[in-house]
Amino acid sequence: MKYGFIKVAAASPEVVVADTAANSEAIISAARRADGLGVKLLVTPELGVTGYTCGDLFLQKRLIDRARDAIAHIAEETAALGCIVVVGAPLRFGTTLYNCAVVMLNGQILGVVPKTNIPNYSEFYELRHFSPAPDSKELLTVELCGQYVPFGTKLVFRCEGMPEFAFGCEICEDLWVPEPPSVRLALNGATIICNLSASDETVGKASYRRELVRSQSGRLLCGYIYADAGCGESTTDMVFAGHDLIGENGSLIAESKPFENALDEDGKVACPMVISEIDVQKLVSERTRIKTFDSCVGFSERSDAFDVSFEMEITDTKLTRHFEPHPFVPSSETERAERCEAILETQAFGLRKRLEHAHASSAVIGISGGLDSCLALLVSVKAMDLLKRPRTDVIAVTMPCFGTTVRTRSNAELLCERLGVSFRCVDIKAAVNQHFRDIGHDESNHNVVYENSQARERTQIIMDIANASNGLVIGTGDLSELALGWATYNGDHMSMYGVNSSIPKTLVRHIVRFYADTADDPELSSVLYDILDTPVSPELLPADEKGEIAQKTEDLVGPYELHDFYLYYFLRFGFEPEKIEYIANYVFDGVYDSETIHKWLTNFVSRFFVQQFKRSCLPDGPKVGSVTLSPRGDWRMPSDASSNIFKI
């Protein structure tokens, strides 16, 4: 539960229809297994105590009485567990029979939630036996197993030690209707929805069920646990598959395959169980960020929910769920290609509009032979193609100086040749040396003055060329560099339109590779592949004795794959650095040791705060993803904010 990770499970214990003793033992066994694996919230199927397919046996007093006995037995046998168990049972109060979810912890029944929407079509005829939940504005209580407990559809169960951990329950058909109870539960603070289901299997239903869970978790910004009845329910005309699902904010994070593990090694029916961790702190962060979620319900409407408090020890959660090590880059090759193409289109259409609006005769780019300027050049060419203008209207300028290597200079020239743009070479060594003499700097002192003088000289040149050609300077800096402040203020930091400003370094590489893979020109692809193989460097320090790049960016500021990981979770979800470090140690286990992860995270936090002043005056640039640092759009931060409380 530490850092908001709640280990949850959906299980489909073996059911013997109408045998409450056997079913309760199966549920107890599943609960013990879940508890042993660290699960804090276990959801089991609809009417699991009796079986969903009892038919008119639900009208038999003995079955209903034995269901109550089974609930008492399950509560008693799970009292020593640290796991909340949600169980489905038919319960009669007065003369009315309800299809219920019973929530229990430490031998206590926390509450009972009756089913709201009772299906009575096709193979379902629940209205023959059950009544819909009463619509009461008052908190109802019922007696169950010697306890008086809250009863109703508006119960939100909240953890006293972690208020973000709050859950509500709905039952099967409740999810399939136009206005599920989970909508109101989520708007009243439930970050997790438990669904006890007995959904029989028909062709195509699994994919529809999957999309329902996925989309509902996305619409409600919640975790969604769907526990489905297993094959033990299969009887007469219906077959059940134990299709258990766990969703979180529009994604499925765990799923059992329908009919999977129907029999164990001994030929007995097994109990499918899916386990994962729902990040309730992340869900609360999303709800806080997306104001339209909170505005859907007013204060008076919130008052119709009833909180049920429970205590639970806050412990470390052993992570098992998957986190993408490169969260900006889709792992699927097909999806990655689609995203790269879409980003190129977005960048090019944004630049096209700016060139058109400014009546610019040219797009001027400083080309280094590195990845970022390569991508900016590809985008500029695409923009000119969209404008149906000659590619020679793109002016690419290479400006070799003290650190420029033969490899990068050659690649820059070859790239421009294959793309058919105008190419200029302006050697800046003499100008920079003159500048050193003007300001009294010793050229043998390779400090920040030595480096930044080159960057500012290059910017001055392309700005003046743009003036002379009625053009716009196209910025090349990417999102990762902006987050770290790895840019020379009023040097490469400045342009008239920054096409890469919302693209992280890890994604820049894949976009260039996509272009290389799909290019019709083999020679163009070849030079792009070599650029991809070139170490990332500003080339502001002299090359080594072999004439190769000596100044490697990732040796100085850290691996970009780590920084992009930090950036994503810090900006996108507002995670604390300690939580980011916790996840990073799990995700990059075997790739980076904990000391390395800590070192570069500390560096990221420090640089992110100190360098904000550079981001406060960024040029325009197209937003292409959910994380950007534009001072006019997604990120407004004072330049002098302290990082003290964020230090780890």
Instruction: Show which residues are catalytic.
Output: 46, 115, 172
Cβ 164 vs Cβ 284: under 8 Å: yes
For residue 401, the SS3 value is: coil
For residue 307, what is the enclosing H or E element?
A: strand 306-310
Residue corresponding to tokens 């989309």:
215
Closest by Cα among 89, 80, 72, 11 to 43: 11
The count of C-alpha atoms lying within 13 angstroms of the C-alpha of 344, restricted to the half-sphere facing its C-beta, is 26
Sorted by sequence, the CB contacts under 8 Å of residue 425 that are 6+ apart come out as: 397, 398, 399, 400, 413
Alpha-carbon gap, residue 544 to 494, rounded angstroms:
29
Closest by Cα among 193, 114, 195, 190 to 159: 190
Say what the alpha-carbon torsion angle 463, 468, 472, 475 is, to the nearest 10 degrees: -30
Sorted by sequence, the CB contacts under 8 Å of residue 64 that are 6+ apart come out as: 58, 90, 91, 92, 97
The count of C-alpha atoms lying within 13 angstroms of the C-alpha of 248, restricted to the half-sphere facing its C-beta, is 21
Radius of gyration (Cα) for the chain, nearest Å? 31
Taking every pair of Cα atoms in the chain, the longest distance, rounded to a whole number of angstroms, is: 100
CB atoms within 10 A of CB 259: 16
Closest by Cα among 586, 456, 571 to 504: 571
Q: Name residue 637's amino acid.
A: M
Q: 585-612: string of b/e by CB count within 10 Å (b at 16+)?
A: eebbeeebeeeebbebbbbbbebbbebb
Q: What is the DSSP string of 575-624?
A: --HHHHHHHHHHHTTTTS-HHHHHHHHHHHHHHHHHTHHHHTTPPP----
Task: Name beta bridge partners: 157.
Answer: 167, 308
Cβ 217 vs Cβ 224: under 8 Å: yes
Closest by Cα among 167, 169, 233 to 198: 233
For residue 226, the SS3 value is: strand
- What are the strands, taking DSSP E only, across 369-483? 394-398, 422-425, 471-475
Residue corresponding to tokens 């209580």:
141
Closest by Cα among 343, 336, 337, 335 to 623: 343
Cβ 90 vs Cβ 118: under 8 Å: no
Cβ 563 vs Cβ 483: under 8 Å: yes
For CA atoms 27, 32, 36, 42, the dihedral sign is positive
For residue 5, what is the enclosing H or E element?
A: strand 5-11
Q: Name residue 518's amino acid.
A: T
DSSP assigned state of 326: S
Residue corresponding to tokens 């109550």:
68
